[in-house]
Amino acid sequence: MTRIWGALAAVVLLAACGGEDAAVQVSQKNKSFNPNQVKIAVGETIALSNDDKRTHNIRVFHPEMNFNSGSQDPGEVVRLTFDAPGTYYVTCGIHPQMELKVTVTEKGSPSGS
Amino acid sequence: MASRISLPARLSTVLPILGLAVVAAASAALGWGLASGVQPEPSLAELKQRYVRPAAPPFPADNSYTPAKAELGKQLFFDPRLSGNNDISCAGCHNPDLAWEDGRPVAQSPTGEPRRRHTPTLWNLAWARTFFWDGRSPSLEDQATRPVITQGEMNQPMDSLLDELRAIPGYRNGFADAFPRADKPITEANMAKAIATYERTIVQPITPFDAWVAGDRDAIPADAKRGFRLFNGKAQCANCHGSWRFTRGAYHDIGLKNQGDLGRGPVLDVAAANNAFKTPTLRDITRRAPYMHDGRFKTLEEVIQHYEGRFVRRDTLSADMQAIDLTPAETDQLIAFLKTLETPEALQGVTRPELPE
Ligand SMILES: [Cu+2]
């Protein structure tokens, strides 16, 4: 069975306040991700911010990661950190056509982000 | 990972911006402001562009198309031996003569008891990402065998079905042709792959609407053209149904009085998705009454009245739900438009396959 990574994936729900970090920023608006693909290195973080007027539900199904954000209300940020290289698809459980392609490279390799 | 056509999604984000720019320029020239907050309407050409059909269905890399696989899948789909009593096939509920539905409010078990939800059409599922009204299945391969083993549906344990198929020489040959590299080709996974392959070929034929989008100006009547405008504008249908498949595949609570079915919420374990069901396609909708996930409305007029404000306001109500207000003439135009999504009579139904002996 796949592991549930909810606790491990260093995911925090917090009110959007911009500020802080070096996380790669992805916006959710009008039922789509913008940008809809990103490249990061192992250990780096993506901050998905719900700039939409509707609730989303961030999901990742992957042999290395099984993640469910629960309900992500407008204004909330979901942070995802990837622990293994590979190609991941982040989708929304409520709007499955939403898709963010995440290419995760080995640490130290040129990630392009 | 299944190959996916992502063009429509990208187009839908780009086009409104283009449309806005064009209309903004036009209205500036005419001296109108955009400050009123009313969304400017894109041009007809831009609207039509959002509804262009893709050329061919996609198949996933791990279950590519072969004619042998599709043919085997078709035989399995139409074969009542897949059910416990050998009396009902997939087509027993997904009847190609009824736009792949059964004409009932909710599905019926082989012994006549009503099931919970309306039988959904199979049109254009090659492009879908989640299956069943609540989306609990992530692929056609996963979905295909579930009704077979479900009590109250086809009710046949998988092991006994596989034994039954292995005893039929025609199926031994059919599976060997479809899966030439397998030592023992008659397996649950291969059965699912074959049925899924056949289902991906179930693409709606060109409708009058498609012909109009492709450039035939006379393919649909004038009131239907006005209905198309309403669909994308005042009636707000396109918020959720606006794509060539006439669904964006999302889950919405449209404010139907709950009758004990919470839909997507329990599947996701997300309370905000309670009362939400998958947006159904509108292709062939005039052949698919009664309507909604539980068949509660008999006519499209009733459906439109629902959207005119007869819905339940609650926390889970979709942000895309706002009461619409159509005149009787506009309702007629909208329905005239929906009628143009109908499969031409000469192209309805399919030839039944010869079943293996
Ligand atoms: Cu969403």
**B81 and B198 co-located in one domain:** yes
- Which residue's structure tokens are 């698919």? B288
CB-based burial, B39-50: b 16+ in 10 Å, e otherwise = ebebeeebbbeb
Q: What part of A 14-33 touches B (C-beta under 8 Å)?
A: 30-32
pLDDT (mean) for B134-146: 96
Q: What tens digit of pLDDT does each residue of B91-117 get? A: 999 999 999 999 999 999 988 899 999
Q: What tens digit of pLDDT does each residue of B184-221 get? A: 999 999 999 999 999 999 999 999 999 999 999 999 99
**Given an 8 Å threshold on Cβ–Cβ distance, is B272 in contact with A53?**
no
* HEC per residue, B7-57: HHHHHHHHHHHHHHHHHHHHHHHCCCCCCCCCCCCCCHHHHHHCCCCCCCC
* Total domains present in chain B: 2
Closest chain B residue to A29, measured at CA: B13
pLDDT the model gives residue A109: 65
**Which of A13, A26, A28, A31 would best serve as a mutation to test chain B binding (most B beta carbons within 10 A)?**
A31
Interface confidence, given as ipTM, is: 0.83
User: Has residue A66 been placed in a domain?
Assistant: yes
Task: Output the domain CATH number for residue B171.
Answer: 1.10.760.10
pLDDT (mean) for B307-329: 96
Task: Output the domain CATH number for residue A31.
Answer: 2.60.40.420
pLDDT the model gives residue B89: 96
Q: Could you tell me if B11 lies within 8 Å of chain A, comparing CB atoms?
A: no
**Given an 8 Å threshold on Cβ–Cβ distance, is A94 in contact with B130?**
no
Q: Could you tell me if B17 lies within 8 Å of chain A, comparing CB atoms?
A: no
For residue B250, report the distance from its CA to the centre of ligand 1, in Å. 8
* Total domains present in chain A: 1
Q: Please check whether residue B229 is in contact with residue B91, taking contact to mean a CB–CB distance below 8 angstroms.
A: no
Lowest mean pLDDT among A75-84, B25-34, B220-229: B25-34
User: Has residue B220 been placed in a domain?
Assistant: yes
pLDDT beyond 80 at B13:
no
User: Has residue A1 been placed in a domain?
Assistant: no
Q: Could you tell me if B250 lies within 8 Å of chain A, comparing CB atoms?
A: yes
**B196 and B247 co-located in one domain:** no
**Which of A50, A97, A100 would best serve as a mutation to test chain B binding (most B beta carbons within 10 A)?**
A97
User: Has residue A8 been placed in a domain?
Assistant: no
Domain that holds residue A57: 23-105
User: Has residue A100 been placed in a domain?
Assistant: yes
**B301 and B275 co-located in one domain:** yes
pLDDT beyond 80 at B39:
no
Which residues are within 8 A (CB) of B349 and not within 5 positions of it... i.e. 6 or more apart? B96, B97
**B181 and B264 co-located in one domain:** no
pLDDT beyond 50 at B352:
yes
**Given an 8 Å threshold on Cβ–Cβ distance, is B269 in contact with A96?**
no
Q: Please check whether residue B201 is in contact with residue B334, taking contact to mean a CB–CB distance below 8 angstroms.
A: no
**Which of B134, B270, B314, B318 would best serve as a mutation to test chain A binding (most A beta carbons within 10 A)?**
B270
pLDDT the model gives residue B229: 97
Q: What tens digit of pLDDT does each residue of A21-58 get? A: 689 999 999 999 999 999 999 999 999 999 999 999 99
Domain that holds residue B170: 61-204
